[in-house]
A and B are shown apart, each in its own frame.
Chain A
Amino acid sequence: MMSLARTVWMACLVALATSLAPARAETGLLEQPFFKERVDKGELPPIAERVPRTPIVVDLDDRKRTIGRYGGDLRTLAAKARDLRYITVSGYTRLVGYDETLTLLPDILESVDNQGDRVFTFTLRDGHKWSDGEPFTTEDFRYYWEDIAKNEELSPSGPPDIFLVDGELPKVEFLDDRHVRYSWSKPNPRFLPSLAMPRPVYIYAPAHYLKKFHAKYSDPEALAKKAAKKKLTSWAALHNKLEDPYGASNVDMPTLDPWRIVTPAPAQRFIFERNPYFHRIDAAGHQLPYVDRVVVDIAAGSLFAAKANAGEVDILSRGLATTDVPVLKQGEAAHDYKTLLWPIARGSAFALYPNLTTNDPVWRALLRDVRFRRGLSLAIDRHTLNNALWFGLGTEGNNTVRPESALFSDTNLKQWANYDVDEANRLLDAAGLTERESSGTRLLPDGRPAELIVEVEGEAADLIDALQITAEFLADVGIKLIIKPQESANLRQRSYAGQTVMVAAQGLDNAIPTALMQPTELAPVRQDNFAWPKWGQYAETGGKAGEPVDDPGAKLLMDAYDRWMTSSETSDKARAWQELLRLNAENQWTIGTVSGAIQPIVISNRLRNVPNKAVFSWEPTAMLGAYRVDEFYFADEDDAGPSQ
């Protein structure tokens, strides 16, 4: 009786929440056949008691998607068990998350009240539960904050740096079961975007589960024994190992994601089952996800294309490359799948990073000369690169944001990115490289030939191809480019130590930013940016290592970055972004070539609600995450209708 009343009430609520939704909502929530047996046996409460009282009702009509049906196994591949994190990424369940239009919306949270980026009040969904049926409350936030982030054994270096604003930690208040408030005295614009990342900062943890492994709540001696059994030295190490919401390595830890892992490692095949308590439903009363299980087979990366060609996957993106497209297309008809070709949202598929903090004083001075960098950029024929390597499908220009972003400007794309050998020669002469040796190679000011050693990750075949072509272009202007493939760890070490002169790599990771996203890639604040590793070190370590920014041009970048960090107005942030993009294009800190390389995505023909064309990226779309994989469903065998 109770449950019936609740169902009716639920249904009303659903109808209310979706005034645009079809009238079918009145039928109430539909139990999944997958759980029917367990519900009938009483092992699992019926669906009406599992869904939060205020679920997200996804608006499928609005995005030209259709109401789906329950069932099916979504088969995909991973190269190793650690790559199961891609399921967490694609499941894309965050406190707040981006939708397809990259608007930041509450997801796990019912609502967020943001006052000037200083005070954030989170409201949880009433009746929201973890995948094991325990309530999800502010206790889970308190546990994270007081017992994990501020526990010296679990977090020796203190809470994650998104909580720090000029060294200040927030005041955290747990108002009641469903409300939690974080407040700082200065704006912290990074806070919300960090929660929406493909790899988010988890600021909550399943307290009821983890308390069993926390010395504050459990007998330390028993914990020490448990830890020793797993070859760990302390309870903290055990706690750390078990709390892995991102890596999906612990089958016992409850989750809020659409699917939860049920296969313990090591295995050749990992199964994820639907989370019975997931908080999204559709207008017809289906609880998402539509697909019952995600099945991940472990296979060598070199076999991904072959296995897709043999029809062994329903969905696969990561691990496929442009070069695989012919193989993928060839198997389409025989194995009932299609290959979607989405542009990759990167600033550039191939970019050169002059190391402004390199150890060699002569090269350092030269690389810091804007005329030299512009000269190199003008000497590269981007059109030929595009035709030779990306079927002519890419966009030629600088390493900047893509047209899909509101921050895009045509000037930033094209400035100093045309092909003009005469002007390039003039600029290189002006930079002081007037002397040449008999072979035509210019001489550096100290008399050495201008042999530009470009280091590159040895496994990145496309980058090496691009470098070989670029070497010809640079030879035309008297610069001898020498390619030095490296093991990636080695390359990073050398870069951090200032031993590289130039590195070839891909461009901006996030090339479809909104003004609210942190512009870390455009200013010298990270050491893993090959253009300024030592400046980045300085910023990352708070001045303990590396070198302070001592170039007037780069100082302007820092100023703009600081303006972004301290502003709470979206318009100010947008201005800071545009300033950063303009400075980057003008100064050619990195030399971009062609963007919009293709990501092939293999999708079973039976899978519905998959957009045909969209932008692929790690950040911000979390691979396919922002396109909501939980809304994908398998059509009936006889349903031959086109997807959308």
Chain B
Amino acid sequence: MIAYLLRRLVTMLVTLLVISALVFIIIKLPPGDFISNQIDELRSQGDDASTAKAEMLRAEYGLDKPIWYQYATWVGLWPGPHGLSGLLQGDWGWSFEYQVPVRDVVGSALAMTMIVNLATIIFIHIVAIPIAIYSATHRNSIGAHLATFLGYIGLATPSFLLALALLFYLNRWFGISVGGLMDPQYNEEPWSLAKIGSVVSHLIVPVVVIGLAGTAGMIRRMRANLLDELNKQYTVTAKAKGLPPTRALIKYPFRVTLNPFVADIGNILPSIVSGSVLVSLVLSLPTVGPILLQALKMQDQYLAGFILMFVALLTVVGMLIADLALAVLDPRIRLGKRGA
């Protein structure tokens, strides 16, 4: 087990290193750099941005250095102007766009992102699991058909469209301000009960919108898995031996259907941070998604690079956790080499 863990950790490190190189190269691929992008953007808005300071800024940000040097100092493999200080040393770099360390930009956004996405994941599970169980055990009933129908609608509706419609009507009917994660006036206030209430009321739209497609997908998968198990002989045997119906359902078939979801942790963990970019953008949520998009567009390379690396880290960690959890949940699964 320990040998397995160590082996996994080493692979993870190598994977992350390869990802970091790929991420950096892809960010740098488009023509120009942050400075030229910024000047272009200002000019296209009519702003007569001067190029006079461009060279100076380029030198200041180290954008005039070769790409391998920029990469190596970012990761912390090579000493930069401030010594050996990069991701490996816990320095996340500098955001050109916001003019503050990446840590300060991402910090509060990360917390908000996690709140939104955790709420969404909880919403998905709370809604999807009972519906899935119901529609699997009551096949061909009206309720099951209705659930299926709603599920398909949920899958098919473009989330951003639904988001805009919900925003509009919630504002009109309940006076909830449009977009954001709280009423604008709370932005400058310290945390209070009213502020939390405002956040909760603003969570409704994003959670429902982001969660809808996920819920529908989850209902379909869960239902299919459960149906497979319900027809298996052990379930029939359990029922024949007189186990109460609920126990016969929850104790054995339900547990087996959970396996795919545990395996899913590897995907859920990164999506806590990077999920829902489009909806966040439409709803103007102060989450990581819009920041990442803007950073990529402007080639704010260290900010974009850090967010992508963070997501990558969550993915590999999530995979590891999923593998370990599966082994605990299902004794049939063995870790390590085949046949070992």
Residues in chain A within 8 A of chain B (CB atoms): 75, 80-82, 85, 155-157, 160-161, 197-199, 228, 231-234, 236-237, 240-241, 249, 263, 265-269, 271, 295, 297-300, 302-303, 306-307, 309-310, 312, 457, 487-490, 492-493, 509, 528, 618-619
Contacts and interface: CB of A to CB of B under 8 A. Distances in A.
Interface of B: 30-32, 36-37, 40-41, 43-50, 52-53, 55-57, 60, 81-82, 94, 97-101, 104-105, 108, 164, 167-168, 171, 177-180, 184, 187-188, 281-284, 286, 290, 294
Contacts of A269: 184, 187-188
A80 B36 CA distance: 18
B306 to A, nearest CB: 14
B46 A619 contact: yes
A376 B93 CA distance: 52
A378 B264 CA distance: 62
**5 tightest A-B contacts by CB?**
A618-B46, A269-B187, A300-B284, A303-B179, A299-B284
Contacts of A199: 47-49
A306 B179 contact: yes
A85 B41 CA distance: 13
A300 B43 contact: no
Given A155-B52, A249-B99, A265-B100, A232 B187 contact: no
A198 B179 contact: no
Contacts of A81: 98
B44 A306 contact: no
A156 B98 CA distance: 24
Given A80-B294, A199-B47, A240-B53, A488 B81 contact: no
A383 to B, nearest CB: 28
Given A81-B98, A310-B171, A489-B40, A197 B48 contact: yes
Given A237-B60, A310-B171, A489-B40, A303 B178 contact: yes
A209 B23 CA distance: 41
Contact of B82 (A231, A303, A312, A619): A231
A306 B99 contact: no
A490 B297 CA distance: 11
A510 to B, nearest CB: 9
B98 A268 contact: no
29 contacts: A81-B98, A82-B97, A85-B47, A160-B50, A197-B48, A198-B46, A231-B82, A232-B60, A237-B60, A240-B53, A240-B56, A265-B99, A269-B187, A300-B281, A303-B178, A303-B283, A303-B284, A306-B179, A307-B177, A307-B178, A310-B171, A310-B178, A312-B177, A488-B44, A489-B37, A489-B41, A493-B31, A618-B46, A619-B46
B46 A297 contact: no
B41 to A, nearest CB: 7
A157 B55 contact: yes
Contact of B52 (A160, A268, A489): A160
Given A233-B60, A240-B53, A266 B179 contact: no
A533 B128 CA distance: 58
Contacts of A457: 44
Contacts of A265: 98-100
A80 B284 CA distance: 11
A306 B176 CA distance: 12
Given A300-B282, A310-B178, 17 more contacts: A160-B50, A198-B47, A228-B82, A265-B99, A266-B108, A295-B184, A298-B286, A300-B283, A303-B178, A307-B179, A309-B168, A487-B30, A488-B44, A489-B30, A489-B40, A618-B46, A618-B47
A300 B30 contact: no
Contacts of A307: 177-179
A349 to B, nearest CB: 14
Contacts of A528: 43
A309 B179 CA distance: 12
B335 to A, nearest CB: 43
Pick from B36, B37, B47 the residue with the most CB of A within 10 Å: B47
Contacts of B60: 232-234, 237, 240
A285 B242 CA distance: 92
A82 B45 CA distance: 13
Contacts of A155: 52
Nearest to A457: B44
B179 A231 contact: no
A509 B40 CA distance: 15
Nearest to A197: B48
Nearest to B298: A489
Contacts of B97: 82
Contact of A231 (B48, B98, B101, B188): B101
Contacts of B178: 303, 306-307, 309-310, 312
B282 A268 contact: no
Nearest to A296: B184
A580 to B, nearest CB: 19
A140 B56 CA distance: 23
A330 B108 CA distance: 36
Contacts of B180: 268, 297, 299
B53 A299 contact: no
Nearest to A249: B99
Contacts of A306: 164, 167-168, 171, 178-179
B290 A300 contact: yes
Nearest to B83: A228
A237 B99 CA distance: 12
Contacts of A234: 60
A231 B94 contact: yes
A240 B57 CA distance: 9
A267 B37 CA distance: 23
Pick from A197, A267, A268, A488 the residue with the most CB of B within 10 Å: A268
A365 B201 CA distance: 63
Contacts of B283: 300, 303
Contacts of A489: 30-32, 36-37, 40-41
A300 B179 contact: yes
B100 to A, nearest CB: 7
A618 B42 CA distance: 12
Contacts of A198: 46-47
Contacts of A271: 188
B86 to A, nearest CB: 12
Contacts of B177: 307, 310, 312
Contacts of A310: 171, 177-178
Nearest to B188: A269
B30 to A, nearest CB: 7
A297 B184 contact: yes
Contacts of A309: 168, 178
A231 B100 CA distance: 9
A98 B53 CA distance: 27
A94 to B, nearest CB: 14
A312 B294 contact: no
B99 A241 contact: yes
A509 B167 contact: no
A156 B55 contact: yes
Nearest to A493: B31
Contact of B184 (A161, A312, A618): A312
A382 B193 CA distance: 58
B100 A267 contact: no
A154 to B, nearest CB: 8
Contacts of A266: 98, 100, 104-105, 108
